[in-house]
Amino acid sequence: MTKRQTAVVIGAGIGGIATAARLAKNGYEVTVLEKNETPGGRCNQIIRDGHRFDIGPTLFLMPEVWEETFAALGEKMSDHLDLRRIDPTYKVRFDDGLELELTSDIGKMQTQLEKVEKTAFTGFLNYIAEGSKHYKVSLEKFVGRNFFNIFEYFSLSNLPLIFQLKALGKHYKNTSRFFKDERLKAAFTFQNMYLGLSPYDAPATYSLLQYTELAEGVWYPMGGMYAGIQALTKVAEKHGVTFIYNAPVKKINTGKSKVESVITEDGKTYTADIFVGNADLPYIYDQLLPDRAEAKKLVEEKLYTCSTIMFYWGTKKEYPQIAHHNVFLGGDYKASFDQIFNDHTLPDVPSFYVHAPKRTDPAAGPNGQDTLYVLVPVGHLDARSEQDWDAMVKRARQTVLTRLANELGATDLEQNIKFEMVYQPKVWKERFNLVNGAAFGLSHNFWQVGYLRPHNRHKQYKNLYFAGASTHPGTGLPIVLLSARLTTERILKEEGTIAVQKVVNPTLTPA
């Protein structure tokens, strides 16, 4: 009998789980080593006193990418996930009193937008049309494929597309072509924060985010985003993947041109034919591999996404006036992003996001009580600047409570908080090994996307591959699922193993 090829995956984030499952489906014997006690990485959950919180992502986007992942593993997504569409996708509130409900209902969008600016609805239709083009071209030509050399990326066929996608333009500036009102520009660019980016720095390509939300929908899996992790882990185990928890890797042992083994904190050694790094890629280079020059280049010279201050509140009563997804924008929009990304601090007037899953999923908390998740964007850790995190957390908390009281009438919220859990950049760094506590990994500017992003195969250690937010194609759950597909395809190509299975754009069939 032919000996099965073996693989060790470092990290059970969604990219690690999906890569492990795909490799196992293609005949590999796979072991996943996970630092924490449960799978999921940043897409994890907290359960306390009957309240269930998603720790990180709360938006289920690009369902066709999820569907393809399950299909490639011989499964139907609808057999595993009960998806509910959230519409309006969210309510956006400005500190001057303007409220917008972003919805796929075109008539409602027209009514709202024309109250703010007479020509805004026409601008909106053109903006979404551009986003649709950016989405389809990006997915087919850039995000959804591997690049094996610089000439493939900057090929004669791709160069015109780079300009067509406005990859060299800035998202906020490009939005000015469609809207004049500064609040509308903000309403259609703040989504860059899903990727930890500033709209003043993000490529104009990212108008595709608004297209995916309004045209393809924002969904919610009953049971929370963690239901997706649980489903994929179950499928991976069905294919024979072994998960070992509480097993942080402390060293990768290398030879001249390949990885020979990894050692966990408890001293155990794991050997394999191939290795896949799903821990934060800069962390792997900096802490687990021997090349200090390459590590320094990644850690000190690359741009990182922002971080977040998170509040997880279990409350004694329910607050039905807080919708499923809520965005509160405030202060000087440009100055806020400058303070986050340049000064690495909390803006003078912080904006924030509130997630109330009980509006859709009553099981997210006890009857008559609420489960509230609050995300406040903030700069990442920076040893060169003074960062008083206790003070920033306190100020962020007060900002949130004040606006919820003044704008939604939640005047008794503070006194009804049963318990509070707080994450800030130090926690992101310590719990998930995220360099600089950057909650979304490496940033995405023109010089850090596509072939210019850290590759999913190590240039020296040929049997070491990467999957996750900081390698190609980038951050965000569906994009990391694409990363898992691309990394698996590359492994099967480079290692000469079983042919790649592809499923293209299956029909979405939510339960």
Query: Going by C-beta distance under 8 Å and a sequence separation of 6 or more, which residues neighbour residue 242?
Result: 30, 31, 32
Task: Report how far Cα 45 is from the mean position of its chain's Cα atoms.
Answer: 15
Q: In terms of C-beta density within 10 A (0-12 exposed, 13-18 middle, 19 or more buried), how is residue 125 classed?
A: middle
DSSP string, 362-409: GGGS-TT-EEEEEEEEEPPP-TTS---HHHHHHHHHHHHHHHHHHHH-
* Residue in this structure with the two tokens 């990885």, named with its chain if needed: 259
- Which amino acid makes up residue 63? P
Greatest pairwise CA separation for the chain in angstroms: 72
Parallel, antiparallel or unpaired: strands 352-355 and 249-254 = unpaired
Best CA proximity match to 306, nearest among 202, 439, 424, 209:
439
Going across the sheet that includes 307-315, the strands are 99-102, 90-94, 325-329, 352-355, 370-378, 307-315, 417-423
Contact 475, 195 (CB under 8 A): yes
Parallel, antiparallel or unpaired: strands 352-355 and 370-378 = antiparallel
Best CA proximity match to 244, nearest among 495, 36, 472:
36
Residues with pLDDT less than 50, the chain: 1, 499-511
pLDDT, residue 509, reads 31
Please list, residue by residue across 131-165, b when 16 or more beta carbons sit within 10 angstroms of its beta carbon and e when fewer do: bbebbebbbebbbbbbbeeeeebeeeebeeebeeb
Q: How far apart are the first and last CA of the chain?
A: 42
Contact 378, 217 (CB under 8 A): no
Best CA proximity match to 213, nearest among 89, 67, 109:
89
Q: Which backbone phi and psi does 210 adopt, to 5 degrees? A: -70, -35
Distance (Å, whole) CA 70 – CA 18? 9
pTM beyond 0.85: yes
Distance (Å, whole) CA 401 – CA 407? 10
Retrieve residue 339's tokens: 């303070």
pLDDT, residue 386, reads 84
Helix or strand or coil: residue 318? coil
331 DSSP 8-state letter: S
Retrieve residue 58's tokens: 């709360």
Between the CA atoms of 154, 470, 52 and 229, what dihedral angle is there, to the nearest 10 degrees?
70
In tens, the pLDDT along 109-164 reads: 999 999 999 999 999 999 999 999 999 999 999 999 999 999 999 999 999 999 88
pLDDT, residue 2, reads 65
Contact 15, 469 (CB under 8 A): yes
Distance (Å, whole) CA 23 – CA 234? 15
pLDDT, residue 503, reads 36
Kindly report the number of other CB atoms within 10 A of residue 281's CB atom: 24
Distance (Å, whole) CA 208 – CA 205? 6
In tens, the pLDDT along 332-363 reads: 999 999 999 999 999 999 999 999 999 999 99
